[in-house]
Amino acid sequence: MTWSEMQPLLSQACSETFSMVAWSTLIAVAAGLPLGILLVLTDRGGLLQNVVANKVIGQVVNVGRSMPFIILMVALMSFTRWLTGTTIGTTAAIVPLAIGGIPFFARLVETAVREVDNGLVEAVQAMGGNSWTIVRKVLVPEALPSLIASTTTTIIALIGYSAMAGTVGGGGLGDLAVRYGYQRFETELMWITVAILAVVISLIQFAGDYAARSLHHRGARSGPAPKLRLLKAEEPEAADIAKVA
Amino acid sequence: MITTSGLTKIYRAHRSHGREVTALDGVDLHVREGEVYGVIGQSGAGKSSLIRCVNLLERPTSGTVSVDGQDLTALAGHGPRAGKELRRARSRIGMVFQHFNLLSSRTVQDNIELPLEILGKSGKERSRKALELLDLVGLADKAKAYPAQLSGGQKQRVGIARALAGDPKVLLSDEATSALDPETTRSILQLLRDLNRQLGLTVLLITHEMDVVKSVCDSAALMEQGRIVESGTVSELLATPGSELASALFPVGGEATGADRTVLDVTFHGEAATQPVISQLSRTYNIDISILGAAMDTVGGLQIGRMRIELPGRYEENVVPIGFLREQGLQIDVVDHTAQEPVLVKEGAK
């Protein structure tokens, strides 16, 4: 296969991946953010404590999270048909991608929002702020660096999921690598695809880390990228106290 | 200004039924308008629960809280959610915290504007007020800085400015100086004192540091195991024989030099401080007095002297000289008087 043969294939696959990932990220963030915040608010001791709602949302999120994507895609077919009128193609692939992304992002949001110092919530309560004010003025802005890191993680996971979209004719880079690289033994094309994915993922990660770090506030703290906090709970408070003392 | 009556707070551990912690056990507190009132106690004494019950961040299990004549406990609110009325009442009560609780995502000025945003003030009004308050707390040049760039003392000044943004009549201070070094603590306390004087602000502060009470409080209460065991104005406390707070506020040291000695703590305040009582005592009864320890200090703006003296002979032999000292208007506490006539001593002191 020559470059001139590969080039249109690659550019089409890229644009398909882009549109799948972009739309599904948008939807996942739009729906996952409130869901993740609700998970924190309805938890025991939360502002809108509601154990039943918390259990229900938590369970839905858990099921959504643990479902292998390829199964989710097949399981959602009738829903996809109802929504888009078709079960194949890029548009049809966006539906399961978005739905798979929502619980994924919601869990990350939950972790990020939980890290916001409860003292800040209390301070705003003491000023007479209501729950909505607290979400808007405290939880979201204070968790923003972590939320951006979570978005980065979600985008990258969705790029991974989108490779399976080929199963429903969604196209994209992953599909290209499977169909040409694996099934037709076009090893060269496969490696180019892999390289493109690697570069794109690195760029996204870099941009995400940069954005998160530059928001992570201004001056003083210049620790590791906030993304790491998803793995290990950090206690910024302790450091602050030590500094003050 | 702030009155609590029969305030009780019981925490129940989840799932393990029957395990209860009584943080507040019938607290009656009365804070007068325009005074600085200190509640002191060790960790776990219930101070934090008390101050958080005053603006209902914690809903008391029973009892009432009223601030500026308004019964807050009667205002609607469901669980952690506060009703509109309660939120409005809270906005008229400023609160400062041990760990400052400033939003790291906002500049100093924006932090101070936050309560005004909640009150729905216009942008122009907010920034005017914020800059005015920054000036008041001496941080006019830090408006655009982020909290992370400030020292602990500066952060607390911002915290205080923020607490004052809603023009409160009452300021609650939850261990505001406990995370600060002694020097900064002094300057923050001075600021609180100044604000109390200038704005007629009523301040309720809780602390575990005696120095805080000593340097700024008009009145104080001692908390132990969820109860207030002593309370009153500083001069009342100092005039109370055997007051734990008074002796903690104003300690004098010194051990008896041997058996058959009577050790007395003599507290001077007001008129008595100017009389040469000790030499009069010595001359009148022809006894030798040794001074074991003495100190003069200003407590809550009051000049106070305390002296620990030793008289030769047992307590019974010194009843007359002690009576003489009491006649001079001094407050006498007999130290280590081994339970011979303790009741008499206490009554005599009154």
Nearest-Cα distance to chain A for B106, in Å, is 9
- Each residue of A173-231: pLDDT tens digit? 888 888 888 888 888 888 999 999 999 999 999 999 999 888 876 544 443 344 444 44
Asked if residue B193 has pLDDT above 50, the reply is yes
Cβ contacts below 8 Å, chain A against chain B, sum to 97
Band (pLDDT 50/70/90 cuts) for residue B349 is very low
Q: How far apart are CA A245 and CA B316, in angstroms?
A: 52
Return the residue of A nearest to B146 by Cα. Answer: A218
Mean pLDDT (whole number) for B149-158: 93
Name the residue ranges covered by the structural domains of chain A.
3-217+224-244
Asked if residue B126 has pLDDT above 90, the reply is yes
Give the nearest partner residue to B103 out of A130, A138, A221, using CB atoms.
A138
Categorise residue B183: left if φ over 0, alpha if ψ from -120 to 50, beta otherwise. Answer: alpha
The SS3 assignment for B340 reads: coil
Name the residue ranges covered by the structural domains of chain B.
2-238, 250-349
Band (pLDDT 50/70/90 cuts) for residue B103 is very high
ipTM over 0.85: no
Q: String of b and e for A136-160 (b: at least 16 CB within 10 Å)?
A: ebbbbbbbbbbbbbbbbbbbbbbbe
Identify the residue among B81, B102, B104 best suited for mutation to test binding to A, counting A beta carbons within 10 A and taking the highest: B104
B-chain residues within 8 Å CB-CB of A48?
81
Cβ-Cβ contacts under 8 Å for B171 (sequence gap 6 or more): B93, B94, B95, B96, B160, B163, B164, B192, B195, B201, B202, B203, B204
Asked if residue B89 has pLDDT above 60, the reply is yes
CATH of domain B2-238: 3.40.50.300
Cβ–Cβ gap B114/A45 under 8 Å: no
Q: How far is CA B241 from CA B221, B237, B246, B349, in A?
A: 16, 8, 9, 7
Q: What is the pLDDT of residue A217?
A: 61
CATH superfamily of B250-349: ACT domain (3.30.70.260)
Cβ–Cβ gap B87/A129 under 8 Å: yes
Please tell me the pTM assigned to this model. 0.80
Cβ–Cβ gap B99/A237 under 8 Å: yes
Its CATH class, for the domain covering A3-217+224-244, is mainly alpha
Give the nearest partner residue to B81 out of A45, A131, A245, using CB atoms.
A131
Nearest 10 degrees: Cα torsion A151, A152, A156, A162: 40
Q: How far is CA A69 from CA A35, A73, A76, A162, A163, in A?
A: 20, 6, 10, 9, 10
Band (pLDDT 50/70/90 cuts) for residue B11 is confident
A232 vs A77, more confident: A77
Q: What is the pLDDT of residue B36?
A: 93
Cβ–Cβ gap A127/B90 under 8 Å: yes
Name the residue with tokens 């506030």. Answer: A217
- Each residue of B255-299: pLDDT tens digit? 777 778 888 888 887 666 667 888 888 888 888 888 888 877 776
Mean pLDDT of chain B: 84
